[in-house]
Amino acid sequence: MTVNCHLPVNSVSFGQLSTLFLREVFKNKNDVILFPIGNNIDLSTQESIDKDFGDFLNKGLNKALVEFNRSSPLFKLWHLNGSFESFSNEQTLLSFYELDSPTPIELNIVRNNKKVLFSSKETVSLFNTFGCKNVDYLPLAFDQYNFKKINKKYFQDDRIVFNLTGKLEKRKHHLKIIKAWIKKYGNNKKYSLQCSIFNPFLKPEDQTAILNNLLEGKSYFNINFLGFMPQNKIYNDYLNSGDIIIGMSGGEGWGLPEFHSVALGKHAVMLNAHGYKSWANESNSVLVNPNSKIEVYDNVFFQKNQIFNQGNIYDFNEDDFLSACDTAIEKVEANRLNENGLSLQKEFSSEKLYSNILSHI
């Protein structure tokens, strides 16, 4: 069987997911026709790429323009913005939507794909209410090729380490989370906060200014802002170094860093909303219910009255968040391993992702 794909194969989250799917296509001894989004392939972040897989991808690239027929089914992974264009009349699109007010253009893009898959049941329901009946739910997967539990002692003391992930932006509530955490745990040697929130789309000096303004000129020895991590093995090491992952973003299609952390056995403080609800529950996370919605606009990544990305994100009460942190600390003190979280590796395996995608295209 030949699987026809239009995918980004690069170092960002979309590329990571594309590569995971292609690894499963290769493992199942299928052929591929590959149209790369971005016109190049970058596997520099990946762990254990062998020559046969590289040859498999190159063969798929070389066959694409020679053999592909527009009447053949094709699987695409991309933003809604950029998915009106297609190589196939039978395109199945996997995309992500994080707000609550689809624009006319976004709705038209969805309607003009044969099928659109979202990793959030809430998003599927939202587009259904706007008359889009060609949408369906597709859960994402644990990347066993790049992420694994490391049995290693990272600190000589018994500090409890919180991790915060994702590119720095308003949608993810980073500044609100850090400010609240500082108020409760700042300069307390029993706890530390590791922030992997580097945003390559912000100028470094702008990012530094934002964080300096947040800290109000004060110094906190138990907060560490980490830089860009160019390889998955480095990021895997970072995820393993924490005890509690914080997932309080106001809008996510899934939350891959948080998901992988919990699947590696980390405890979690998670907002009980949007794509997080696909996998975070009371058995594997401490849940915080949202208390309202606020506009997403930040005049940087989200601007009002545009043709894409309009609407609101979930918000939360600071005291509810800090109470959840205390509960997560108690869980760590009882058992540093979140045993219920480990089951996510099998429940959301890459083999299931592969078979689910094939069932839709």
326 and 249 within one domain? yes
CA dist 228 and 3 (Å) reads 33
Which pLDDT value is given to residue 335? 98
35 and 183 within one domain? no
Of the candidates 330, 177, 184, 180, the residue with the CA atom closest to the CA atom of residue 243: 330
Which pLDDT value is given to residue 40? 82
Which pLDDT value is given to residue 49? 86
Pairing of strands 73-77, 31-41: unpaired
197 and 105 within one domain? no
Tokens encoding 19: 């590569």
Check if the beta carbon of residue 123 is closer than 8 Å to that of residue 206: no
* Three-state DSSP class for residue 356: helix
133 and 67 within one domain? yes
319 and 220 within one domain? yes
Q: Which domain holds residue 301?
A: 160-347
Which pLDDT value is given to residue 47? 83
7 and 100 within one domain? yes
Which pLDDT value is given to residue 134? 98
CA dist 320 and 330 (Å) reads 16
Helix axes 174-185, 318-334, angle to 10 degrees: 60
Which pLDDT value is given to residue 50? 87
197 and 71 within one domain? no
CA dist 15 and 336 (Å) reads 32
* CATH number for position 250: 3.40.50.2000
Is 149 a domain residue? no
Beta-bridged to residue 313, according to DSSP, are: 294
Is 154 a domain residue? no
Check if the beta carbon of residue 261 is closer than 8 Å to that of residue 239: yes
Dmax (CA) of the chain: 63
Is 155 a domain residue? no
246 and 184 within one domain? yes
Is 151 a domain residue? no
Of the candidates 301, 215, 99, the residue with the CA atom closest to the CA atom of residue 195: 215
Tokens encoding 136: 């369906």
Is 110 a domain residue? yes
Which residues, in sequence order, are CB contacts of 277 under 8 Å at separation 6+?
120, 121, 122
197 and 77 within one domain? no
Is 114 a domain residue? yes
179 and 68 within one domain? no
Which pLDDT value is given to residue 303? 97
Is 148 a domain residue? no
Is 270 a domain residue? yes
Spans of the chain, pLDDT less than 70: none
Check if the beta carbon of residue 171 is closer than 8 Å to that of residue 98: yes
199 and 85 within one domain? no
290 and 187 within one domain? yes
Number of domains in the chain: 2
- The number of CA neighbours under 13 Å toward the Cβ of 34 is 28
The region, left, alpha or beta by phi > 0 then psi within -120 to 50, assigned to residue 87 is alpha
Which residues, in sequence order, are CB contacts of 185 under 8 Å at separation 6+?
162, 191, 193, 222, 325
